[in-house]
């Protein structure tokens, strides 16, 4: 039994086939070097035609090649983790397990409906973990009494739901997902009862949400609502804190007399004159408030739309933190974000299967994944700024029972000041302590700083997804989300804590490159825009910019293009995608780069020059019927008047004109040896036309609400026409 006690709780395996992969990458890199040599060696001399175009191409190809090298850092050293939950399960007595505080963040009750939020709350309250050790905190930055009302209803329904889940080993434990999954259990009678209870509660909450207010009789039932008496708006109110279930109270039990986890509602104080620092501010308030109530040593952070699909995933995370040999330097355990609303071919590329199934395993091999916000377990101490020391060993604290004396009201009043606007003044909160402020991707920069201090992180990607969220279901949502991420990443690169210099020698080179690879997403827009405009225009004009098929240099292009795309396709398929899904991903790749990244880059430049301020937009989580239907049928949604769409449509139109112009020339002039002379340019333009097919449909053929608005159609038509004609006639 002695050996059983010391067996490791997790295992790390290296990916197979790395030697082969490295060889392959080597040959591809040679190809890239040949392309560079060709471009470099053939620059037209000063004064000659086309010198600048050529230099532009050289620049773009240098960028693509170097970026590809960076992406290799994400593939070089992949590792896979697996855990031994059974060993952990048998090793510790219940009272020796650490407390877990779960933070769910919501920001706006209109885009994040309360019923969805409480389903996330249920999925974590019902975790298979001693209830006394579990506390769930909901941070409501919308300060909405509707959300509070929903949570109040939830605190009641939990008394039925939790014992039901435990008794019948229900999975998943979000009631909405469970009932929707239609799994037909044999305990039919009890299921009918609980389903009815749930539906009644859902009705009440949805009705209240629709009305926008809470019925008087419900309001009178709970003292908590009185906290809204002094409320003037979501940007201006006192701290609202309510312990809805106190897990330490022996009277707080479910219908079978079992213990319940603590459940807390928090809307931190907001004042217009105090910056609230968005989600990072909310998280930091939660860290302090929870420290005074349950003070769990492990913190799980979840977005409100991301329910837990595995009631045992706490144990997975603890396997890392509690491993005696290798667990002491692990600061956080990141799970991938899975999505519930995925269609088969993922038209908006929002499942990120290559990032979650390949790249994050790669960064894990170099010291740990990025902290990406949701689905991440942290050590509280580290989040609160503990410095890394090599031989330090974490001790698992026993409960401190001194809080038990206080009444709930006393505890609430004593805790409220911790969530006030002024608490953080002249402290290190938002800097050395807690999540960092001032960045659009506050989670990533916080994770980076943690790693720079010497801590490691771990990426656990089990077959069955532990957390499932809602992916954007329109193109504009997708592009806006991408803009925010890529802009935040660029901010990190330009910040004091840049992976390029600050992190040097603090984290491994591989991890540094991995971070940079994400950080410079937005800069990709320049080369991509150049490549999707210039070669096509020159094709129309009949000027060749690439080697002819008979030229030996042609083969370096041919090899790099085909090897890169075949590899990329295989990688996508191995990550669980479909061929059509890959094709869709290529389209989104192009759209992201020509719009989201471009806007992110421009915004960053403007902000650096101090022209504008940080803005933060949340992507809507609810959609009208129409939009959902198109999404489920995998029809792209262009139905918004966004400057992003004008760019996309103009580029698509421009390539269509160039392609059509060339086809016309070929038909009229039989001697025109186009394939031979301009094969690569034709291929590029043809590929751009092919990939844009759904957009042409949206421009010219579709009649539904998701088509491109006619104002954009006209604008982009004129712009593209102007570009093509002025180029052919004037230039």
Comparing CB distances to ligand NAG, the nearer of 331 and 353 is 353
Q: Can you say whether the dihedral through the CA atoms of 573, 577, 580, 585 is positive or negative?
A: negative
Per-residue binding letters, 625-644, with ligand NAG (x by CB under 6 A): ---x----------------
CA torsion angle 8 10 12 13 (round to 10):
90
Window contacting ligand NAG (CB under 6 A); options: 18-26, 466-474, 486-494, 564-572? 466-474
Say how far residue 229 (Cα) sits from the centre of its chain: 37
Q: Single out the residue of 442, 501, 513, 484 nearest to residue 619, CA to CA.
A: 484
| Contact flag: residue 465 with ligand NAG (CB under 6 A) | yes
Residue in 147, 174, 301, 341 binding ligand NAG, rule: CB under 6 A: 341
Alpha carbons 613 and 511: distance in angstroms, whole number: 30
Comparing CB distances to ligand NAG, the nearer of 112 and 603 is 112
| Contact flag: residue 344 with ligand NAG (CB under 6 A) | no
Question: Contact 370/363 with Cβ under 8 angstroms?
Answer: yes
Comparing CB distances to ligand NAG, the nearer of 297 and 341 is 341
Comparing CB distances to ligand NAG, the nearer of 224 and 469 is 469
- Provide the minimum distance between the beta carbon of 210 and ligand NAG in the complex, in angstroms, as a whole number: 17
Residue in 470, 529, 598, 682 binding ligand NAG, rule: CB under 6 A: 470
Contacts of 279 (CB under 8 A, 6+ apart): 105, 107, 141, 373, 435, 442, 443
Question: Contact 499/448 with Cβ under 8 angstroms?
Answer: yes
Q: Single out the residue of 220, 66, 89, 96 nearest to residue 149, CA to CA.
A: 220
Comparing CB distances to ligand NAG, the nearer of 43 and 635 is 635
DSSP H stretches of helix in 42-144: 51-73, 85-91, 114-125
3-state percent breakdown (helix, strand, coil) of the chain, nearest 5: 55, 10, 35
Instruction: Give the count of residues interacting with ligand NAG (CB under 6 A).
Output: 12
- Provide the minimum distance between the beta carbon of 632 and ligand NAG in the complex, in angstroms, as a whole number: 7
Q: Single out the residue of 581, 551, 635, 674 nearest to residue 42, CA to CA.
A: 551
Burial of 47 (0-12, 13-18, 19+ CB in 10 A): exposed
Give the catalytic positions in this structure: 141, 443
Comparing CB distances to ligand NAG, the nearer of 172 and 547 is 172
The tokens describing 166, both together, are 């435990």
Window contacting ligand NAG (CB under 6 A); options: 428-436, 461-469, 609-617, 683-691? 461-469
- Provide the minimum distance between the beta carbon of 119 and ligand NAG in the complex, in angstroms, as a whole number: 12
- Provide the minimum distance between the beta carbon of 294 and ligand NAG in the complex, in angstroms, as a whole number: 28
Q: Please give the residues from 544 up to 583 whose contact with ligand NAG meets the rule CB under 6 A.
A: none
Q: Can you say whether the dihedral through the CA atoms of 686, 688, 689, 693 is positive or negative?
A: positive
Per-residue binding letters, 231-250, with ligand NAG (x by CB under 6 A): --------------------
DSSP state of 388: P
The Cα-based distances of 384 to 248, 288, 569 in angstroms read 25, 9, 42
- Provide the minimum distance between the beta carbon of 628 and ligand NAG in the complex, in angstroms, as a whole number: 4
3-state SS, residue 469: strand
Question: Contact 621/112 with Cβ under 8 angstroms?
Answer: yes
Say how far residue 257 (Cα) sits from the centre of its chain: 39
| Contact flag: residue 171 with ligand NAG (CB under 6 A) | yes
- Provide the minimum distance between the beta carbon of 116 and ligand NAG in the complex, in angstroms, as a whole number: 9
| Contact flag: residue 309 with ligand NAG (CB under 6 A) | yes
| Contact flag: residue 623 with ligand NAG (CB under 6 A) | yes
Window contacting ligand NAG (CB under 6 A); options: 22-30, 237-245, 465-473, 657-665? 465-473
| Contact flag: residue 473 with ligand NAG (CB under 6 A) | yes
Residue nearest to ligand NAG (CB): 171
| Contact flag: residue 167 with ligand NAG (CB under 6 A) | no
Comparing CB distances to ligand NAG, the nearer of 522 and 575 is 575
| Contact flag: residue 143 with ligand NAG (CB under 6 A) | no
Question: What is the chain's Cα-based Rg?
Answer: 28
Comparing CB distances to ligand NAG, the nearer of 101 and 171 is 171
- Provide the minimum distance between the beta carbon of 269 and ligand NAG in the complex, in angstroms, as a whole number: 32
- Provide the minimum distance between the beta carbon of 356 and ligand NAG in the complex, in angstroms, as a whole number: 12
Q: Which DSSP string do the residues of 546-572 spell out, in sequence order?
A: S--TTSTTHHHHHHHHHHHHHHHHHHH
Alpha carbons 232 and 143: distance in angstroms, whole number: 10
Residue in 99, 114, 142, 172 binding ligand NAG, rule: CB under 6 A: 172
3-state SS, residue 302: strand
CB atoms within 10 A of CB 563: 15
Comparing CB distances to ligand NAG, the nearer of 321 and 631 is 631
Window contacting ligand NAG (CB under 6 A); options: 52-60, 428-436, 463-471, 566-574? 463-471
List contacts with ligand NAG (CB under 6 A): 171-172, 309, 338, 341, 464-465, 468, 470, 473, 623, 628
């Amino acid at each position: 039994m002695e050996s059983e006690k010391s067996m490791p709780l997790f295992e790390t395996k290296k990916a197979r086939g790395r030697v082969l992969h490295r060889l392959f990458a080597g040959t591809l890199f040679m190809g890239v070097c040949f392309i560079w040599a060709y471009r470099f060696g053939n620059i037209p001399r000063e004064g000659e035609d086309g010198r600048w175009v050529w230099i532009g191409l050289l620049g773009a190809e240098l960028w693509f090649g170097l970026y590809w090298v960076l992406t290799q850092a994400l593939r070089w050293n992949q590792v896979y983790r697996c855990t031994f939950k059974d060993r952990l399960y048998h090793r510790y007595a219940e009272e020796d397990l650490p407390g877990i505080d779960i933070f769910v963040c919501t920001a706006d009750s209109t885009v994040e409906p309360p019923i969805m939020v409480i389903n996330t709350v249920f999925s974590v309250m019902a975790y298979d973990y001693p209830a006394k050790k579990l506390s769930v905190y909901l941070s409501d930055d919308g300060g909405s009494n509707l959300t509070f009302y929903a949570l109040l209803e939830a605190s009641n329904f939990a008394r039925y739901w939790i014992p039901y889940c435990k008794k019948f080993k229900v999975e998943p434990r979000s009631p909405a997902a469970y009932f929707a999954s239609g799994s037909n259990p044999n305990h039919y009678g009890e299921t009918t009862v609980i389903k009815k209870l749930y539906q009644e509660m859902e009705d009440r909450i949805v009705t209240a949400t629709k009305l926008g207010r809470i019925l008087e009789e419900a309001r009178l039932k709970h003292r908590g609502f009185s906290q809204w008496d002094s409320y003037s708006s979501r940007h201006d109110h006192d701290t609202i804190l309510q312990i809805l279930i106190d897990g330490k109270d022996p009277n707080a039990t479910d219908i079978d007399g079992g213990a319940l986890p603590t459940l807390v509602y928090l809307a931190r104080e907001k004042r217009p004159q105090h910056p609230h620092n968005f989600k990072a501010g909310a998280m930091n308030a939660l860290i302090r408030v929870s420290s005074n109530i349950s003070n769990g040593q492990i913190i799980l952070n979840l977005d409100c739309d991301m329910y837990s699909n595995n009631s045992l995933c706490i144990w997975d995370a603890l396997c890392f933190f509690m491993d005696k040999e290798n667990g002491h330097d692990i600061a956080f355990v990141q799970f991938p974000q899975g999505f519930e609303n995925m269609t088969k071919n993922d038209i908006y590329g929002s499942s990120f299967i290559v990032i979650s199934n390949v790249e994050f395993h790669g960064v894990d091999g170099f010291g740990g994944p990025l902290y990406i916000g949701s689905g991440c377990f942290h050590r509280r101490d580290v989040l609160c700024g503990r410095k890394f020391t090599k031989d330090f060993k974490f001790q698992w604290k026993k409960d401190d029972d001194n809080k038990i004396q206080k009444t709930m009201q006393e505890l609430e009043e004593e805790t409220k000041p911790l969530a006030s606007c002024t608490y953080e003044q002249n402290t290190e909160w938002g800097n050395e302590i807690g999540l960092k402020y001032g960045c659009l991707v506050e989670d990533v920069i916080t994770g980076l700083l943690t790693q720079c201090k010497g801590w490691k992180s771990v990426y656990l990607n089990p077959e069955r997804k532990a957390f499932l969220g809602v992916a954007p279901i329109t193109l504009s949502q997708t592009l806006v989300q991408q803009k925010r991420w890529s802009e935040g990443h660029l901010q990190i690169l330009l910040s004091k804590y840049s992976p390029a210099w600050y992190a040097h020698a603090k984290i491994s080179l591989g991890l540094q490159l991995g971070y940079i690879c994400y950080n410079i997403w937005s800069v990709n827009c320049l080369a991509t825009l150049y490549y999707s405009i210039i070669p096509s225009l020159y094709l129309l004009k009949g000027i060749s910019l690439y080697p002819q098929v008979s030229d030996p240099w042609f083969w370096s292009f041919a090899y790099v293009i085909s090897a890169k795309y075949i590899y990329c396709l295989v990688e996508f398929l191995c990550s669980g995608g479909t061929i059509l899904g890959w094709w869709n991903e290529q389209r989104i790749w192009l759209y992201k780069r020509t719009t989201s990244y471009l806007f992110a880059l421009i915004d960053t430049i403007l902000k650096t020059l101090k022209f504008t301020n940080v803005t933060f937009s949340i992507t809507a989580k609810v959609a009208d019927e129409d939009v959902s239907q198109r999404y489920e049928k995998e029809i792209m949604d262009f139905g918004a008047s966004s400057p992003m769409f004008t760019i996309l449509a103009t580029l698509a139109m421009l390539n269509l004109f160039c392609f059509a112009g060339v086809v016309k020339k070929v038909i009229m002039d039989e001697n025109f040896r186009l394939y031979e002379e301009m094969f690569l340019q034709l291929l590029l333009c043809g590929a751009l036309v092919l990939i844009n097919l759904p957009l042409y449909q949206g421009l010219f053929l579709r009649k539904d609400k998701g088509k491109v608005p006619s104002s954009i159609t006209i604008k982009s038509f004129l712009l593209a026409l102007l570009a093509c004609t002025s180029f052919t006639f004037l230039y």
